[in-house]
Structure 1
Amino acid sequence: MNEALIRHKLGRLDKAGAKPRVLDLFAGCGGLSLGFEAAGFDIRGAVEFDPQAAQSHGINFHGGAPEHCDAIDITSTSPEQLCQKLKLDSVEDAFDIIVGGPPCQAFARVGRSKLREIEAHPEAFIRDPRAQLYKKYLEYVDAFRPLAVLMENVPDILNHGGQNIAEETCEVLQDKGYVCGYTLLNSAYFGVPQMRERMFLVAYRKEVADEVVFPAPTHWVDLPSGYESSRSVATKTLRSLFNEAHCYVEPTVAKTSLPAAVTAKEALNDLAPIYARELLANGEIKRGARRFVAPVRYSRRKPSSYALLMRSWQGHEAPEDGVRDHVIRYLPRDYELFARMNPGDQYPQAYEHAVEMFQERLQAEREKGQKISEKSAKYKALWDSIVPPYDASKFPNKWRKMWADQPARTLMAHLGKDGYSHIHYDSNQARTISVREAARLQSFPDGFQFSGTMNPAFRQIGNAVPPLLAKALAATMMQTLRASAFRGAPKVQGEVRDDSQAALSAV
């Protein structure tokens, strides 16, 4: 990278009010973008293939401008074409930061080839188009020459078929002149009411920083054993090949003296209750896709400090007439079963409850004089109307009823399919969570808009990086960038600031 361009970008950041400019790749609806915006960055552009997620991003960060709402296929869009679309004159000087993360599934069979070979020998991976996403990501880094890069992915990227993709990615970036580090962070430690474990990789130009620092936890929670075992599996490669994991940064241990993690009840309790069984009895909930136009007033319950933050997030404040998207799935068979379940129950327990409910109903029908033999059509119809069809031995984690006094478990994109992984803790409401409740558990503010109907909205939320966790990372990166810009300011006072275009013309 041309040194004049680096000095120019750092010199610009030293100016009063100048914000680092972000490009969000594989942006989704904008979880990372929202966190970086809140930390003082300028979200200047995004690339997202899914049309509804792309529209959500454009609505929330660019006022719905058409050039920002269109879906973009990174495999067929060059950096130059992206700049033309976003009406940016210079490619090299368009962005200061690139965030996002390409899918990693394509590299399980690559072995210790070092992912840099994708650049040198792309034909070796032509059979797997997902490899091209990684190649395009690197192409964008090369073209835009950012001062810093942030990548996010699942923890298993540290042990993907015995491969440490994060370490190999760092090797590629180091070859390009970056100082790199990666770690595992759990969102519950950063004020998010959800226990979500993710890998984050940060890289700075070597002229900007000589080490990577990650944010320290602000909250504490005793994570369930499943999260500890998942982390152990992910870091297995690190333990066996630790001398090769040069860029791994041990996460700071959360202290028990920190404030307790935000609970599901603190996150959701001020939202209006939705009593699913009553709605069903009154015919007020029906099958079919629904849009989110009707506002819903908050309940009269006193909001927690977290709820107040979600209502008042700068730039994404809640509408004055109430929140949108507070709608639930139509699951008529299961509302009574949800009421019967205990907090923490998963599918095996739900199945047992359902069988008990069936036996009770069967007995009641027989006491009324109904003759229902075990092999009759009536018997089967009654069974099917109460008992879910899944094998309890094969789907133990398919369902879960939340605890009120703990953060929620990880929200997945599968929310777009059924939502059984997050059954509301309040048995009186007896339902799965609403779209707005899912957004709250991810730390999306109440004024954030999701494009599309219920299923796409759930999918966008489940795919996102929790904005509060993104904000913690962004704030740490901002400190590093500001410190570097301040240190470099005297050197470039006359040379770059007064003649920046001349310096750039040499790039």
Structure 2
Amino acid sequence: MSETALIDLFAGAGGLTEGFLRNDYEFVSHVEMDLNAIRTLETRCLYHYLKRDGNSDDYSAYLMNEISRDELFEEHPEFNRDLYMNLELTEGNKNCVIEHIKSKVEVLGFESVEGIIGGPPCQAYSYAGRARKNMANDRRNYLYLIYLSFLKEFQPEFFVFENVPGMISAKEGLILSDFQEKVINLGYNLDVKIRDASDFGVPQRRKRLIVIGHRLEMDGEINFEKYRYRGTVWDLLSDLPPLEPGEGYDGPQRYAGKPAQPLKESGIRTDGDVLLHHQARNHNSRDREIYRRVIEAWESERRRLKYTELPPELRTHRNTSSFLDRYKVVAGDLPFSHTLVAHISKDGHYYIHPDRKQARSLTVREAARIQSFPDSYIFEGSRTSKYQQIGNAVPPLMSEGIARRIREILRGGL
């Protein structure tokens, strides 16, 4: 066991956590309000625990539906499930949570908390969220103050705060400037920048605000070595079985073929992986016809079909002046997908599979791959919840690059 540990706030399904686990960081607590998300994270952390010990047979049995999740955890009572806190952080309970974590630091024998990672729910900061009624007074605008409470109490060597780019302009910039001022007063130097996940090998254009705080004396911003996914979206999806709407399984099934080289290089699929969560939604005939037209427009003209270009019999929305790109294909011939967000949990119209013959939206596994989640990553809960967990997550390859660079800096490799 190392002498220090991390705290994981607003942890979600573990996209940000994953990168730090891959860089051998240990955690003293994970806090997340969504039950399915914290169950997903707990399952993934058990995977890393078993992998470290060279004993992945039980996890493989769970992948293959040979044992239940309860049986998996019963086989490993030594795995500390008390570190996973399923609760909503509020001003009313934050002090209790802080005291609980402090007791865990002592009981587990850690000398200190080295870092805090996480990002509050982004709905209040996103441009779409701010357009809704009553969002201006949404309490989620001020969850950054709870994050600050943990920084003030534990005084870690570093922190990583992640959110949507819209946080920069939220409340006319007052929220971010207040956050920056308060953490500077706590003694942190800041690196504040919008970073694109595609610069970390993720097959997706996805911009996020990343705030890194540290106590080191160094000039300028933190530099990250950029590297890109070396294939296309088709390379990402080509080994998966083609599906008609409604076909496929959430449980284990066979791959359709060998992975393309870029997919292997990314680590998204490795030898011994099992295909899970590859089940297509049902779609009505009208939507499938729209999907085909959207795909055809991209394939033949490389352009996005506007909603107003559809024949009247295919239109069901009265709004013909905005959201004209409400149907969008994930372009198979490009190296990056457009940004995948949690709205995919509501419908798949904005994330259409590039194959005209299939004429369907992405499966959970396809969405997970676009986010760079490996095929060994199991998502718990309903299909709707799985889509939401994936759409809300930090791409693991992005978090891995951030964690690796922070580790280098803290070890003196500026």
Work out whether the TM-score is over 0.5: yes
Is residue 45 from structure 1 mapped to residue 29 from structure 2 by the alignment?
Answer: yes
> Corresponding residue for 1:98?
116
Q: Deviation at 1:430?
A: 0.9
**Take 1:159 and 1:80, find their aligned partners in 2: how far apart are those partners?**
30
Whether the 8 Å contact between 2:115 and 2:157 is mirrored in structure 1 is yes
Q: Map 1:408-419 onto structure 2 (within 5 A).
A: 408-419=337-348
Change (3 A) 1:423 1:318: farther
Whether the 8 Å contact between 1:97 and 1:146 is mirrored in structure 2 is yes
Is residue 331 from structure 1 mapped to residue 341 from structure 2 by the alignment?
Answer: no
> Corresponding residue for 1:36?
20
Whether the 8 Å contact between 1:414 and 1:459 is mirrored in structure 2 is yes
Q: Deviation at 1:354?
A: 4.9
Q: Deviation at 1:84?
A: 7.0
Q: Map 1:315-464 onto structure 2 (within 5 A).
A: 319=273, 322-333=274-285, 334-341=287-294, 342=296, 343=298, 346=304, 348-349=306-307, 352-355=309-312, 383=313, 386-389=314-317, 391-406=319-334, 407-464=336-393
**Take 1:68 and 1:262, find their aligned partners in 2: how far apart are those partners?**
38
Deviation sequence 1:359-393 (CA, Å, 0-9, x none): xxxxxxxxxxxxxxxxxxxxxxxx4xx54445343
Deviation sequence 1:323-354 (CA, Å, 0-9, x none): 110112111232233223223665625x6345
Gaps of 5+ in 1: 1-16, 109-126, 220-259, 286-290, 356-382, 488-507
Change (3 A) 1:421 1:104: closer
**In structure 1, what residue type is equivalent to 2:101?**
C
Whether the 8 Å contact between 1:272 and 1:296 is mirrored in structure 2 is no
Deviation sequence 1:468-499 (CA, Å, 0-9, x none): 11111111100011118xx9xxxxxxxxxxxx
**Take 1:105 and 1:301, find their aligned partners in 2: how far apart are those partners?**
39
**Take 2:339 and 2:125, find their aligned partners in 1: how far apart are those partners?**
25
Is residue 73 from structure 1 mapped to residue 88 from structure 2 by the alignment?
Answer: yes
**Take 1:30 and 1:178, find their aligned partners in 2: how far apart are those partners?**
25
Q: Map 1:7-156 onto structure 2 (within 5 A).
A: 18=2, 21-62=5-46, 66-75=81-90, 76-77=93-94, 78-83=96-101, 88-89=106-107, 93-103=111-121, 129-130=139-140, 132-156=142-166
Q: Deviation at 1:27?
A: 0.9
Q: Deviation at 1:303?
A: 2.1
| Aligned mate of 2:269, from 300, 304, 311 | 311
Change (3 A) 1:274 1:176: same
Is residue 296 from structure 1 mapped to residue 253 from structure 2 by the alignment?
Answer: yes
Whether the 8 Å contact between 2:28 and 2:101 is mirrored in structure 1 is no
Whether the 8 Å contact between 1:324 and 1:436 is mirrored in structure 2 is yes
**In structure 2, what residue type is equivalent to 1:415?**
I
Whether the 8 Å contact between 1:272 and 1:299 is mirrored in structure 2 is yes
Aligned to 1:478, the other structure's residue is in SS state helix
Whether the 8 Å contact between 1:55 and 1:70 is mirrored in structure 2 is no
Whether the 8 Å contact between 2:3 and 2:109 is mirrored in structure 1 is no
Change (3 A) 1:59 1:94: farther
**Take 2:98 and 2:364, find their aligned partners in 1: how far apart are those partners?**
37
Whether the 8 Å contact between 2:188 and 2:213 is mirrored in structure 1 is yes
Normalising by the residue count of structure 1, what TM-score does the alignment of the two structures yield? Answer: 0.64
Change (3 A) 1:170 1:448: same
Q: Deviation at 1:70?
A: 4.5
**In structure 1, what residue type is equivalent to 2:253?**
V
Change (3 A) 1:325 1:103: closer
**Take 2:339 and 2:214, find their aligned partners in 1: how far apart are those partners?**
30
Whose radius of gyration is greater, 1 or 2? 1
Change (3 A) 1:483 1:84: closer
**Take 2:4 and 2:255, find their aligned partners in 1: how far apart are those partners?**
36
Whether the 8 Å contact between 1:266 and 1:307 is mirrored in structure 2 is no
**In structure 2, what residue type is equivalent to 1:340?**
R
Deviation sequence 1:227-274 (CA, Å, 0-9, x none): xxxxxxxxxxxxxxxxxxxxxxxxxxxxxxxxx654211221111211
**Take 1:20 and 1:54, find their aligned partners in 2: how far apart are those partners?**
23
**In structure 2, what residue type is equivalent to 1:29?**
A
Is residue 275 from structure 1 mapped to residue 227 from structure 2 by the alignment?
Answer: no
Aligned to 1:37, the other structure's residue is in SS state helix
Q: Map 1:131-280 onto structure 2 (within 5 A).
A: 132-163=142-173, 165-206=175-216, 212-219=221-228, 262-276=231-245
**Take 1:167 and 1:91, find their aligned partners in 2: how far apart are those partners?**
37
**In structure 2, what residue type is equivalent to 1:89?**
V
Change (3 A) 1:478 1:211: farther
Whether the 8 Å contact between 2:30 and 2:84 is mirrored in structure 1 is no
**Take 2:259 and 2:125, find their aligned partners in 1: how far apart are those partners?**
49
**In structure 2, what residue type is equivalent to 1:134?**
Y
Normalising by the residue count of structure 2, what TM-score does the alignment of the two structures yield? Answer: 0.78
Aligned to 1:202, the other structure's residue is in SS state strand
Gaps of 5+ in 2: 48-72, 74-79, 127-136
**Take 1:47 and 1:345, find their aligned partners in 2: how far apart are those partners?**
43
